[in-house]
Amino acid sequence: MHPYETISLDTAGYVLAAWLIGLHCWMLLKPAESREFLIKLPRNGAIAPWLMGAGMFWFWLLVAPDGLGPLSKLQMDLGEFNQAKSLLRIIIPIVALGMITQVKEFLAIRGIGLLALMAAAPLIYAAYLELPSSRLLIPIYAYAMVFGGLFWVGMPFTLRDLITWVTKTEGRFRASAFAGLGYGVVVLICAVLWW
């Protein structure tokens, strides 16, 4: 059984709620600081290598070789592509190094996109075949992460444009923060009461 399959719905709900509530409370409590951070995020060279490195390492763990102890636990069955695992184990670190050292434009956004794609899987597994219909709050958010992540990796200017649009006016920024906070609170309530 893959570790993703052992994540309970309520645990996924608590983690997602903590992320949403924490992020959007920061946006509401420190609007100037959070807006400045978000505006600079697309070209933030300080955190970009860390975001891309974390995403690539997580991806590498899915094809990690046997015998690495806890590092091998996230290894996934790739079906018809299982024979490509040995090649991927070599290619992923090379691509990660190339991306971090050679790609300077919007590397932070590409890293966020990759992390969004990687983080969606545990959320989807946690909600899979669960009974309460409120569980759909988690896959809806996870599929939004997948959709956004695909765009942010391939066309990172889309997140830059979204950030520009959201931060352009105080009203949009506050509305976005309240919407994210509200979603997080609803997820938390569902996790406490029904999941």
The model's confidence at residue 73, banded by pLDDT at 50, 70 and 90, is confident
The 3-class secondary structure across the chain, one letter per residue, is: CCHHHHCCHHHHHHHHHHHHHHHHHHHHHCHHHHHHHHHHHHHCCCCHHHHHHHHHHHHHHCCCCCCCHHHHCCCCCCHHHHHHHHHHHHHHHHHHHHHHHHCCCCHHHHHHHHHHHHHHHHHHHHHCCCCCHHHHHHHHHHHHHHHHHHHHHHCCHHHHHHHHHHHCCHHHHHHHHHHHHHHHHHHHHHHHHCC
pLDDT of residue 134: 79
Angle between helices 107-127 and 85-102 (to 10 degrees): 140
The model's confidence at residue 79, banded by pLDDT at 50, 70 and 90, is confident
Phi-psi region of 125 (alpha: psi -120 to 50; beta: other; left: phi over 0): alpha
pLDDT of residue 131: 78
0.75 surpassed by pTM: yes
pLDDT of residue 171: 95
Whether 75 and 64 have beta carbons less than 8 Å apart is answered as: yes
Tokens representing residue 49 in the block: 């290598």
Distance CA 63, CA 85 (A): 6
**Mean pLDDT computed over 137-147:** 95
Higher local confidence (pLDDT), 134 or 53: 53
Q: Is the pLDDT of residue 88 over 90?
A: yes
For the chain, how many residues are written? 195
Tell me the pLDDT tens digit for each residue of 113-136: 999 999 999 999 998 877 778 789
Q: Is the pLDDT of residue 48 over 90?
A: yes
User: How large a percentage of the chain has pLDDT more than 90?
Assistant: 77
Question: Which of 66-75, 85-94, 164-173, 177-186 has the weakest average pLDDT?
Answer: 66-75
Whether 112 and 97 have beta carbons less than 8 Å apart is answered as: no
